[in-house]
């Protein structure tokens, strides 16, 4: 009753000033309430009525014990005004104090029978429900617009703001009148100085002790979303420009068949751009990467429906520039391939098909001299590690089998080899293992020409050798002058029979002899052996015959035996 008396005193202080300001009177009939009445005298109810009948300065202030029958519940105090506001500034009831209240002092306080404050309004306008800890729910009842406390979460010290409305459309709105830069409309968060807590969340089954959170924002700004995230006519952006990643989109996918991030369209069409990378997005976007609904991709240029991958645009750099740079690191348990092209081609009936096609235009401005222009260049391939490669190839070509005529490499024009090296076949089978041929088939056409591009003649233009990539053994050489050299031997210092296993050589018929036997592994009974005398002997001045054997030949001279040692040269042809 002490609290109630204090509240009544405040009301009595406030009512005269209210009445004078509004031009209304206080009074009424004891035990009467507009729209009902006070019927049960047993209830402890004090009822104050303000109407326009009596002047509160001269008339009596009526009160009565009874029941507020409009609700059927026992009521301790009822304040009512019959005044009807006619302007936006009119106020039917004012509770105020004429004292000097501080910001922390309560102007209005509602307490229970233990003097525990359940509702209070302070001098600065701050309003508190349930003291300062708010261990209950503030409930907006859509049926009657009232506010009630309900402790729906047991012992949890928590506060809820909710509505019982469940109608189509918006059921509850929290907003402010902020309308200028720097003003924040609604701020939700924690008053803690830490950042690990969830400062804001959206949930389902929120009044349960274990609500389902579908949207959470931590104190760091990190945001977690369960379900779809839809942006209509807007952007997801980070205004930061710090070093490193400024905006990332990631998922926790870590198994085969799981997709980390999928970007695209929700439409079934395929002609649209499903993904793009651009500069100046919120200005005039300049697209540098585009992918359409079919997977056609454009880099530096819009994608083309005629090409799965189109690379274009102007690429201006300082130093060496590269249109496409492929530099993967592959650590495989099976074959490793840097770039794999496995195309399935089906061109028009009379058109060519190319697995890889290289072409284009290279610009050489006035005054520029470029050392080389290469359609395809393969640089030096090096090795790291202590292992070995049995062989390494700059280009490895396997002859196709699809055509009526098949060629491992078909060149139209000149082929120029720069640097020391060999062109050879690894085949070791019967027949031709390496052939150089042309389609020349008429007089005046040269099938294959081997030589040098120099204007000099001292060099060897053509040679045949063994162990080319080791220590070459030349068995046939043609010089720029047309001179031909072959392996040879000279047995003239020891006239008579001897051994000489080369295709050319020199030997001698001993004095007082008319023949000589030369052992030569290149000779067979079907060989052609040409012999020319190189000494003018009066007795034996011509070759009478050359008799072939298996691994040897015999030279007979005439008309008689030689007076002195007579030299001769020979050539073996098979």
Q: How far apart are CA 175 and CA 171, in angstroms?
A: 13
What's residue 11's pLDDT?
A: 45
- Phi-psi domain of 219 (left: phi exceeds 0; alpha: psi -120 through 50; beta: other): alpha
Q: Is the pLDDT assigned to residue 305 strictly greater than 50?
A: yes
Vertex 120, ends 116 and 121: CA angle to 5°? Answer: 160
Q: Helix or strand or coil: residue 555? A: strand
* Contact in structure between 212 and 202 (CB atoms under 8 Å): no
pLDDT in tens, 193-213: 888 888 888 888 876 777 888
Residue 101 in this model has a pLDDT that exceeds 70:
no
Q: Which tokens belong to 51?
A: 């109407």
- Examine the pLDDT at 138 and tell me if it is beyond 50: no
What mean pLDDT comes out for the span 56-73?
A: 45
Task: Give 530 or 261, the one with higher predicted confidence.
Answer: 530
CATH 2.60.40 fits 498-573, yes or no: yes
Provide the pLDDT for residue 53: 54
> Using an 8 Å Cβ cutoff, are 574 and 524 in contact?
yes
Res. 551: pLDDT tops 90: yes
**pLDDT for 145 beyond 50:** no
**Which helix (H) or strand (E) segment is 279 a member of?**
strand 273-279
In the predicted model, what is the mean pLDDT of the chain? Answer: 77
Give tens-digit pLDDT for 450-495. 888 888 888 989 989 888 878 888 889 999 999 999 999 999 999 9
- The more confident residue out of 111 and 448 is 448
Mean pLDDT, residues 534-548: 96
Which residues is 275 bridged to in the sheet? 291
pLDDT of amino acid 574: 93
How does pLDDT run across 74-98, given as a tens digit for each residue? 445 556 666 667 766 676 677 766 6
Mean pLDDT (whole number) for 377-399: 87
Q: State the virtual CA torsion across 181, 187, 193, 195 in degrees, nearest 10.
A: -100
Encoded tokens for 411: 């060149």
Spatial strand order in the sheet of 127-129: 106-111, 117-122, 127-129
What per-residue confidence (pLDDT) applies to 78? 59
pLDDT tier for residue 99 given thresholds of 50, 70 and 90: low
pLDDT at 509 over 90: yes
How far are the Cα atoms of 232, 406, 446 from residue 439, in angstroms, in the given order?
68, 14, 9
For the chain, the structural domain boundaries read 2-81, 133-167+198-221, 272-313, 435-482, 498-573
**Residue 499: what pLDDT?**
97
Residue 17 clears pLDDT 50, i.e. is over it: no
Q: What is the pLDDT of residue 153?
A: 46
Lowest mean pLDDT among 50-64, 252-266, 474-488: 50-64
Confirm if 299 and 323 have CB atoms less than 8 A apart.
Answer: no
pLDDT-based confidence at residue 325 (cuts at 50, 70, 90) = confident
d(CA 244, CA 554): 90
Q: What is the pLDDT of residue 359?
A: 83
pTM exceeds 0.95 for this model: no
Residue 79 neighbours by CB distance under 10 Å? 17
More confident: 499 or 152: 499
Q: Which of 499, 495, 502, 457 is nearest to 475 (CA)?
A: 502
- 253 pLDDT band, cuts 50/70/90, is very high
List, for residues 268-300, the tens digit of each pLDDT value: 888 888 889 999 888 888 888 999 888 899 888
Residues 250, 244: Cα–Cα separation, whole Å: 16
pLDDT exceeds 60 at position 12: no
């Amino acid at each position: 009753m002490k609290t109630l008396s204090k509240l009544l005193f405040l009301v009595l202080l406030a009512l005269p000033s209210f009445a004078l300001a509004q031009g209304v009177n206080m009074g009424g009939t004891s035990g009467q309430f507009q729209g009902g009445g006070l019927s049960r005298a047993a209830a402890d109810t004090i009822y104050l009525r303000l109407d326009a009948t009596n002047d509160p300065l001269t008339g009596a202030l009526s009160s009565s014990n009874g029941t507020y029958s409009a609700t059927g519940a026992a009521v301790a105090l009822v304040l009512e005004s019959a005044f009807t506001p006619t302007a936006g500034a009119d106020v039917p009831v004012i509770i105020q104090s004429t004292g000097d209240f501080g910001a922390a002092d309560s102007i209005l306080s509602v307490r229970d029978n233990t003097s525990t404050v359940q509702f209070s309004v302070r001098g600065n306008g701050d309003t508190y429900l349930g003291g300062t800890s708010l261990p209950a729910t503030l409930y907006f009842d859509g049926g009657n617009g009232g506010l009630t406390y309900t402790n729906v979460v047991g012992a949890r010290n928590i506060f809820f703001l909710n509505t019982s409305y469940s109608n189509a459309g918006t059921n509850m709105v929290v907003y402010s009148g902020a309308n200028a830069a720097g003003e924040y409309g609604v701020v939700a968060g924690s008053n803690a100085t830490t950042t690990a807590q969830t400062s804001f969340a959206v949930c389902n089954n929120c009044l349960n002790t274990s609500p389902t959170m579908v949207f959470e924002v931590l104190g760091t700004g990190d945001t977690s979303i369960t379900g779809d995230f839809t942006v209509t006519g807007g952007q997801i952006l980070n205004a930061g420009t710090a070093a490193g990643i400024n905006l990332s989109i990631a998922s926790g996918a870590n198994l085969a068949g799981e997709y980390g991030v999928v970007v695209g369209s929700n439409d079934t069409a395929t002609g649209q751009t499903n993904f793009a990378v651009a500069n100046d997005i919120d200005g005039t976007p300049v697209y540098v990467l585009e992918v359409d609904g079919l997977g056609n991709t454009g880099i530096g240029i819009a994608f083309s429906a005629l090409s799965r991958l189109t690379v274009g645009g102007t690429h201006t750099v300082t130093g060496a520039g590269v249109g496409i740079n492929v530099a993967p690191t592959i650590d495989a348990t099976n074959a490793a391939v840097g770039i794999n092209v496995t195309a399935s081609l089906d061109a028009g009936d009379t058109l060519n098909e190319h697995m890889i096609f290289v072409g284009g235009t290279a610009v050489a401005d006035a005054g520029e001299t470029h050392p080389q222009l290469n359609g395809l260049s393969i640089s030096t391939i090096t090795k790291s590690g202590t292992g070995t490669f049995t062989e390494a190839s700059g280009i490895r070509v396997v002859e196709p089998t699809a055509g009526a005529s098949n060629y491992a490499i078909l060149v139209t024009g000149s082929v120029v080899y720069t640097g020391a090296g060999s062109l050879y076949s690894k085949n070791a089978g019967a027949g031709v293992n390496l052939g150089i041929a042309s389609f020349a088939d008429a007089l005046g056409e040269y099938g294959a020409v081997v030589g040098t591009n120099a204007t000099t003649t001292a060099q060897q233009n053509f040679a045949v050798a063994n162990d080319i990539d080791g220590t070459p053994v030349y068995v046939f050489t043609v010089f720029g002058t047309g001179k031909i050299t072959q392996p040879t031997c000279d047995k003239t210092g020891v006239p008579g029979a001897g051994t000489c296993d080369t295709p050319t050589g020199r030997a001698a018929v001993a004095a007082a002899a008319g023949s000589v036997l030369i052992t030569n592994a290149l000779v067979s009974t079907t060989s052609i052996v040409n012999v020319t005398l190189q000494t003018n002997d009066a007795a034996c001045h011509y070759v009478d015959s050359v008799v072939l054997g298996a691994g040897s030949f015999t030279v007979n001279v005439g008309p008689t035996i030689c007076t002195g040692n007579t030299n001769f040269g020979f050539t073996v042809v098979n």
